[in-house]
Structure 1
Amino acid sequence: MKAAGFALERASDYLDILCRIIASCLIAIIALLAAAQVGGRYFIGWSPVWIEEMTRYCFIWMTLLGACVLVKRGEHAVIDVLVSALPRSLKSIHTALVLTVIIATSAVLIFYGIKIVGIVGKQLSPALRLSMAYVYLAVPVSGAIITVHCVVGILAEWRRGEE
């Protein structure tokens, strides 16, 4: 059990690093594309049609990978005014319940994300002629990564409760 938990923790850590690197690269790409579009429009009066589309797809991936990073750090949206007043044991239970709800939501993302990837697989984007499956794949991928992070978080809370 401990070996599986350790392996899952390592996987979660590696996924977090990967998400951070990819999201950072996507931010840089978005900035470069936006600058190229504005510069092209301003200086030569023309900018390629595909830039806006590529920027949008990079933004989708960046946002969903960023959500994975926030869940790993425990910085997802939360109102903790009442929770901060709870004793440690109840905080642990609250955290585990919140993470369980996030897992349930992630399961929906995975299930319907896979469904929609299958539906749009043959559809091509207008400007890039890219399969829309690559764009929609961000939904189940982020759902799976968030699930791994939450399971690791629940295991960590369980270990804290045993101590």
Structure 2
Amino acid sequence: MNRITNTVDTILKTVVISVFAVLVVCVVWQVLSRYVLGTPSTFTDELARFMFIWIGLIGAAYTLGQRRHLAIDLLTGPLTGIKKRYSDYFIIAAILTFSLLIMVYGGSQLVMKTLITGQVSPALRVPMGYVYAAIPFSGVVMVYYSIEMLVGLIKGTGTGPNDQPIDHDDAQA
């Protein structure tokens, strides 16, 4: 599972960096065309908006895999032992449930309905289903990372959802 995770990490990292580079070029061109040439580019504005959606969702999935996502540990921070372990199980189950139901299932429904209706973007004429496909795609990646965290937690070899190493002696207390 470690080799698969490293491959997924590398692919996501490459995609995020590539999309971000194209996003920067689009925004720079948009500014130049608007203020230097006097004729704003409509397609780069829309393309930048769509890329921002993709980079935000894929970046969120990558961040979850790196255990660097936003975590409010006011209630779970002081926990130790078996309480901490159950808390980690609950957090991972909540992430997994949200990713499966909302992002994968709901996102797939949105993509399919949008593709069936034939909705396209105004400037690029791209089917909006392709833009919305970032939701189920990142959901699938989040499901994978959640399962990986859950397996690591069960085996006692991984980290919890907040990048805390599992203390076997403390978890048995």
Q: Equivalent residue for 2:114?
A: 120
Q: Equivalent residue for 1:106?
A: 99
Aligned residues: 156
What is the distance in 1 between the residues matched to 2:72 and 2:109? 33
1:76-126 Cα distance to aligned partner (Å, 9 max, x none)? 221123323221433222122111101111112111111111111122111
2:77 is paired with a residue of what secondary structure? helix
Identity %: 26
Code of the residue aligned with 2:18 in structure 1: it is: C
What is the distance in 1 between the residues matched to 2:21 and 2:72? 31
Unmatched 5+ stretches in structure 1: 1-5
TM-score w.r.t. length of structure 1: 0.88
Tell me how far 1:75 sits from its aligned partner: 1.9
What is the distance in 2 between the residues matched to 1:110 and 1:35? 34
Q: Equivalent residue for 1:3?
A: none
Greater relative contact order (CA < 8 Å, ≥ 6 in sequence): 1
Alignment RMSD (CA, Å): 1.7
What is the distance in 1 between the residues matched to 2:85 and 2:43? 48
Bigger shift: residues 87-96 or 59-68 = 87-96
1:11-55 Cα distance to aligned partner (Å, 9 max, x none)? 333222211111111111111111101011111101221111000
Unmatched 5+ stretches in structure 2: 157-165, 169-173
Greater fraction helix: 1
What is the distance in 1 between the residues matched to 2:75 and 2:94? 18
